[in-house]
């Protein structure tokens, strides 16, 4: 080899490596690297621990025994089938209700459509665990208020039941709860498509003398099929990772899903088996990643079937004639089941010394003692501080990481941007219970255990950041695309660095989107349950964890009072989120 070849090769290497770009964007690269660390290290540790014996902090050697044991357990397959069945049927119920309400609110003359649009958001303010606990007070076989009323009613006709007749602690009860819980999210995903659909197809159907029902099923719904199927896939993935209802309703009925199987193995069973739980977690994660791949592939190609135009029009409202008020009654029934009934029974339980079936006689026991105890207890004050801290820090860190990472993805010209986008979106496919389990494995094992983060608020913040950063990057990706890079280039010419440009030029322009994402993460951090419950210790308890502890201890009145306070805080936050979302939507238009 000629003596000049090494120098020539070194010069060629330097010309290919964008050292100036790396030097100028080191802060962005460092932030993205930190986010990837948060995501990939726990997942890697979970995979490693699935092949280890013993406790994560004191491993006893490598083995395949965990996989052999897990895949030979009938309860694993039973939990897998139950998880899929609940998700499938629950998604069908969710989708049917969401599509119907989107059509009624956006495309028909149903009375009170504007009010219905606002009311359909309120279920987001009721955390899943409170929704499930409220319905256990209503439909518990022995003490459920609705069951007692039904038994009294049937007694009038000589039909007697010792308990029931409805049992919430069944597979049907879990499907009922799952079907109602997801309606708001799916509605928000598809309502825009109903609003912006080209009306010419429906007008052609009307010219052909087709009725409202025929037009909906033969024209409107097929045209909306790509958006509806994408929402259905998203709903199915969300249902697969459900934890609150299976914990509150499934476990008492001896019904296991994958999420509660992991919780049982690591928090209830003695001795705890982290290796077996790791296998459950890995299996769960692989299944969800496969579903996510299908979802992304479908969404990527759904524009081929688009019938929505960018013209400024408002599709003509369809008259549904004599069905206007039955349609409104159907929506009111949904709102009663999804919001009024569970909130009302929780409110009732919170103003009594102990739970009693609603009656005029029981009302004489009215008391504010539960609320007084909550506000006076030092432990509760510490929990409130932890909850506020978790909400503020998780929302802020998530959105800052999402903003900077999205900027790197959108503005980057390198091929690795697509891989980075996929890695950041990966946590969307990982259930919260698995994220928490992965963090436990990572921070109980060397070398990360020496950081002393296990049992701290910092670890809980990490869990929520990993869980919600996928949403944050989706939101910021689309927002950054709306800002022309010439504005940033002008700042560079003026001598501003990358980070200064991002936070003084780009971020103010994107503030509505950033604020909408911040409030969304704050709301979900406040109502989060699976990650805080798995990572909770005496020092880092938050509202949802204390609420569950009260419930398990049999003090349902205190648990209900905490739940009512949480809902009252979440309602204005939910409405604030809607304001920023509307503002962001207007900005995009």
Q: Does residue 117 lie in a domain region? A: yes
Do 410 and 548 fall within a single domain? yes
Q: Does residue 61 lie in a domain region? A: no
**Could you say which of 330, 364, 398 is where a domain stops?**
364
- Strand, coil or helix: 317: coil
- Cα(260)–Cα(321) distance, integer angstroms: 47
Low-confidence ranges of the chain (pLDDT < 50): 1-4, 6-7, 9-16, 302-312, 586-589
**Could you say which of 364, 397, 423 is where a domain stops?**
364
Do 488 and 355 fall within a single domain? no
At residue 246, the pLDDT reads 93
At residue 544, the pLDDT reads 86
Q: Does residue 480 lie in a domain region? A: yes
Q: Does residue 254 lie in a domain region? A: yes
**Could you say which of 326, 346, 364 is where a domain stops?**
364
pTM score: 0.83
Do 240 and 328 fall within a single domain? yes
At residue 299, the pLDDT reads 62
Do 155 and 290 fall within a single domain? yes
At residue 9, the pLDDT reads 44
206 phi and psi angles, rounded to 5 deg? -65, -40
Q: How many residues does this entry show for the chain?
A: 589
Q: Does residue 564 lie in a domain region? A: yes
- CA 95 to chain centroid, in Å, comes to 17
At residue 53, the pLDDT reads 86
At residue 211, the pLDDT reads 62
Are 209 and 122 within 8 A, CB to CB? no
Do 250 and 396 fall within a single domain? no
At residue 19, the pLDDT reads 57
Do 409 and 491 fall within a single domain? yes
Domain that holds residue 581: 24-48+373-589
- Cα(530)–Cα(226) distance, integer angstroms: 32
Residue from 233, 229, 117 nearest 581 by CA:
117
In the beta sheet, which residues pair with residue 58? 55
- Cα(513)–Cα(484) distance, integer angstroms: 16
Do 305 and 347 fall within a single domain? yes
Count the domains in the chain.
2
State how far the alpha carbon of 494 is from the alpha carbons of 20, 497, 499, 501, 523, in Å: 18, 9, 14, 10, 39
Distant-in-sequence, close-in-space partners of 14: CB < 8 Å, separation ≥ 6: none
Q: Does residue 386 lie in a domain region? A: yes
Instruction: Provide the CATH number for the domain around residue 195.
Output: 1.10.3720.10
Do 326 and 395 fall within a single domain? no
DSSP string, 148-208: HHHHHHHHTTT---SS-S--SSSHHHHHHHHHHHTHHHHHHHHHHHHHHB-THHHHHHHHT
Q: Does residue 57 lie in a domain region? A: no
At residue 21, the pLDDT reads 58
């Amino acid at each position: 080899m000629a003596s000049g070849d090494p120098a020539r090769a070194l010069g060629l290497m330097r010309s290919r490596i964008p050292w100036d770009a790396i030097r100028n964007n080191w802060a962005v690269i460092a932030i993205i690297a930190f986010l990837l660390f948060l995501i990939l290290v726990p997942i890697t540790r979970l995979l490693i621990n699935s092949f280890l014996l013993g406790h994560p902090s004191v491993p006893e050697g490598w083995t395949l025994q965990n996989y052999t044991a897990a895949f030979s357990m009938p309860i694993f397959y039973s939990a897998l089938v139950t998880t899929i069945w609940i998700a499938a049927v629950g998604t069908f119920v969710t989708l049917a209700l969401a599509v119907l309400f989107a059509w009624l609110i956006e495309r028909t003359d149903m009375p009170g459509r504007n009010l219905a649009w606002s009311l359909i958001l309120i279920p987001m303010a009721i955390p899943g665990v409170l929704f499930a606990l409220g319905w256990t007070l209503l439909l518990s076989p022995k003490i459920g208020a609705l069951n007692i009323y039904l038994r009294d009613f049937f007694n009038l006709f000589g039909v007697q039941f010792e308990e029931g007749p409805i049992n919430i602690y069944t597979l049907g009860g879990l499907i009922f709860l799952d079907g109602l819980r997801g309606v708001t999210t799916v509605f928000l995903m598809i309502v825009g498509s109903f609003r912006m659909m080209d009306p010419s197809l429906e007008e052609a159907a009307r010219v052909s003398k087709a009725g409202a029902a025929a037009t909906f099923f033969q024209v409107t719904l097929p045209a909306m099929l790509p958006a509806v199927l994408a929402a259905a896939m998203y709903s199915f993935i969300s249902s697969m990772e459900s934890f609150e209802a299976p914990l509150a309703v499934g476990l008492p009925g001896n019904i296991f899903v994958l999420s509660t199987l992991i919780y049982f193995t690591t928090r209830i069973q003695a001795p705890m088996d982290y290796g077996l739980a790791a296998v459950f977690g890995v299996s769960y994660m692989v299944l969800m990643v496969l579903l996510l791949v299908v979802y992304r592939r479908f969404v990527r190609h759904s524009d081929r079937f688009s019938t929505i135009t960018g013209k400024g029009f408002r599709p003509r409202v369809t008259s549904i004639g004599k069905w206007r008020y039955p349609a409104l009654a159907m929506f009111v029934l949904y709102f009663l089941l999804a919001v009024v009934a569970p909130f009302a029974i929780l409110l009732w339980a919170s103003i009594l010394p102990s739970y009693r079936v609603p009656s005029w006689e029981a009302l004489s026991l009215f008391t504010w003692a539960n609320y007084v105890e909550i506000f006076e207890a030092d432990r509760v004050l510490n929990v409130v501080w932890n909850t506020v801290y978790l909400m503020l820090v998780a929302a802020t860190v998530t959105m800052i990481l999402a903003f900077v990472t999205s900027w790197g993805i959108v503005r980057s010209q390198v091929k690795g941007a697509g891989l980075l986008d996929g890695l950041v979106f990966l946590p969307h496919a990982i259930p919260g219970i698995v994220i928490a389990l992965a963090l436990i494995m990572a921070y109980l094992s060397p070398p990360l255990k020496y950081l002393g983060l296990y049992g701290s608020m910092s670890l809980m913040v990490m869990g929520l950041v990993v869980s919600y950063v996928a949403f944050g990057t989706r939101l910021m990706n689309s927002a950054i695309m709306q800002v022309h890079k010439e504005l940033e280039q002008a700042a560079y010419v003026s001598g501003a660095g990358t980070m200064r440009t991002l936070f003084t030029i780009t971020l103010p322009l994107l503030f509505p989107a950033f604020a909408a994402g911040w409030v969304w993460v704050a709301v979900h951090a406040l109502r989060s349950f699976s990650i805080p419950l798995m990572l909770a210790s005496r020092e880092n308890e938050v509202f949802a964890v204390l609420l569950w502890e009260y419930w398990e201890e049999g003090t349902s009145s205190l648990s209900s009072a905490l739940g009512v306070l949480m809902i009252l805080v979440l309602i204005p936050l939910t409405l604030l989120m809607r304001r920023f979302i509307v503002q962001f939507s207007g900005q995009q238009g």
